[in-house]
Structure 1
């Protein structure tokens, strides 16, 4: 779960926001595209793009962070649904994002400090173009299989969530605690798909420090982590928590219905795998995600499994285009899974050491393992469309 979410806005509001942002220039000498790619230069007060229109199909964004803050870069539909994203781009670093873009209007957003709605640029993908995305039978098979996987994970989540929310409604703190982590596994495995809808994730998976400016935690904070705080920190269940349990059931039922309509492409699968590793790096390794329950390693493992599922389904395509990358990814996934297994309380179940018991050297080791996997995983999308 990202620390701060994008709010859902209308296309008109997006245009108004763009007009008001003086630091976001259309073009600069710093932002010249090369080889048909769109160059994005992110600074603390601007988001410069080399082109505001480009052919639909395979899009490459060459991102450079010239600001002093860690940033994120998004390609969004006008209603804030996420097409693709890259988080945690450090000052002075670069990143390449590959995505499949249909003809239409979009927004490129840079988020210095990874907060707020970001500095936004309106862009347009036109026509089919010479870069139109072409699908091989292997790509189609990978997308179909991943769609089935995501739906199965969502379907399996609802009864686990009901076990958790039933315990909340019954006022049984210990039973709710016992069911909490398990209820989140399917969500964590497929979180990039859920985030692509824009509005569901802030309802069910936001942390208190991820609320938008002006939101009142007492009224506006909903979802798993609000209940997590009640169970582990407040150690009580009141009428508000029981209402939130009902709302969590409702919001996740909506998610399950919408999963089958998600826009899934080979590049979104590859980018989603990298996003899951970013989730681990920015939330799980730090202990921020499950700050009350300390069940971070359950989320960690689920994120890695979801990323690995995307990779395994895309492997037949990537193997043809970049066998060295595939070999490296096989190696790093195996190494990280082996490391995670050392923290299992039960090797045959989703039972892991409470994260507050994981030492700083052990956390550093986990962080190093994530970084070792994240670097080659960031190249998977490009390998798929070679």
Structure 2
């Protein structure tokens, strides 16, 4: 879930994660290489061009504020076209997306909370984004993958919620982490719908004023910290299934493009760096490494599907990504318990030096992964 860190912690992660670029701005509001500039500050979000042609759009984002920020391109109904999270103060990031003609908003979210500071933009009729047969095949395969993850999650989630409703704390604990794997593999797709992610996967410190806390982490706290299941928790178990069923039904309607797949892969690595490596995501159950592995698998799936396109445009990048994925997966294997696929050691047993090693490996992958979208559309 995107709102997960104190600003201080997120800033430290963002410095490591954000790709820093520099480019001069032209008089037409675009940078020297054609990107639209977005300047984010603590109280403003300036866009250099309020209308630009459809196709592959690139944002050159600069955070001049004092807070970590994130930048979104949003449909009028708040669905997410694309996003870049964890942009630290004084850093810049590039974001490439396939955008059709229509009305949109660009939003900057200082502190990564709230609705953000928004600017209306118009994407005018222009050349449709070029799609090769390999791109279309990658999108079709990823759509099938995302749907399969949602379909497979519901039965596992029902095992978890049935245990909650039966008042069986130990059975619920055992079923908790497996129920989240499919979600964690494809979380950017869920986040694109706007309202499902906060209902299902929000942590307590991410709550907005007046928002009711529901979802996995509310039940996680009840199981591991409170050590009890009452009538409220049993009702919340039913709510979780309802919301996950909503997600399952909506997955097939998600806007998926080659660039959204690439950007989503980067978002999953950001999730690891800002939530799992820090131990903040699963702060009660300490099952962070299960989420960690699922995030990496989801990112790697996008990379593998896009590889036939990217390897023609940037073979060195693809080779580097292959190398870094292998290195990170090999490192994760050190923390398996009993040698099983998703049985990892409790994250509270992983020491500071080991966490830094994991963080360094994530950052080593995240940097080249941030270039995958651009490689796909070269």
TM-score (structure 1 length as normaliser): 0.91
Moved more, 303-312 or 90-99: 90-99
Aligned residue in 1 for 2:129: 133
In the alignment, what sits opposite 1:166?
Answer: 162
State the partner residue of 1:46.
44
Measure the CA separation in 2 of the matches of 1:150 and 1:321: 26
Equivalent in 35, 38, 46 of residue 37 of structure 1: 35
Ranges of 4+ aligned residues in structure 1 off by more than 6 Å: none
Q: How does 1:217-366 map to 2 (within 5 A)?
A: 220-366=212-358
List aligned pairs for 1:72-87, cutoff 5 A: 72-87=70-85
The answer to whether the 8 Å contact 1:4/1:115 transfers is no
1:104 aligns with 102
Counterparts in 2 of 1:46-65, with a 5 A limit?
46-65=44-63
1:37 Cα offset (Å): 1.7
Alignment partners' CA distance in 1, 2:84 and 2:300: 18
State the 1:2 CA deviation: 1.2
Q: What TM-score do the two structures reach when normalised by structure 2?
A: 0.92
The answer as to whether partners of 1:28 and 1:50 remain within 8 angstroms in 2 is no
| Whole-angstrom distance in 2 between the partners of 1:56 and 1:91 | 30
Q: Does residue 3 of the first structure (1) align with residue 3 of the second (2)?
A: yes
Q: Give distance in 2, aligned partners of 1:34 and 1:53.
A: 17
Q: Which runs of 5+ in 2 are unaligned?
A: 6-24
Query: SS in structure 1 opposite 2:337?
Result: strand
Would the aligned equivalents of 1:4 and 1:116 in 2 still touch at CA under 8 Å?
no
Q: Which ranges of structure 1 fall in alignment gaps of 5 or more residues?
A: 6-26
Q: Report how far residue 346 of structure 1 moved.
A: 2.9
- In structure 1, distance between residues paired with 2:143 and 2:291: 21
* 194, 197, 204: which one aligns with 2:200: 204
- 1:203-226 Cα offsets, whole Å, 9 max, x none, are 1101111111233xxxx1100000
RMSD over aligned Cα, in angstroms?
Answer: 1.7
CA contact (8 A) 2:4 2:274 kept: no
- Number of aligned residues: 359
In terms of mean alpha carbon deviation, does 300-309 or 31-40 score higher? Answer: 31-40
**In 1: Cα distance, 2:362 partner to 2:33 partner:** 31
Aligned to 1:91: 89
Shift of 1:111: 1.1
Pair 1:359–1:286, CA change in 2 (3 A)? same
The 2-side partners of 1:186 and 1:164 are apart by: 14
Rounded to whole Å, the distance in 2 between the matches of 1:156 and 1:107 is: 34
Distance, in Å, in 1 between the alignment partners of 2:103 and 2:266 is 25
2:15 aligned residue: none
The structure 2 residue matched to 1:148, chosen from 128, 144, 150, is: 144
C-alpha separation in 1, matches of 2:185 and 2:368: 20
Q: Report 1:13-32 matches (<5 A).
A: none
Match of 1:176 among 172, 175, 182: 172
Q: 2:188 aligns with which of 173, 184, 192?
A: 192
* Cα contact 1:185–1:302 (8 A) shared by 2: yes
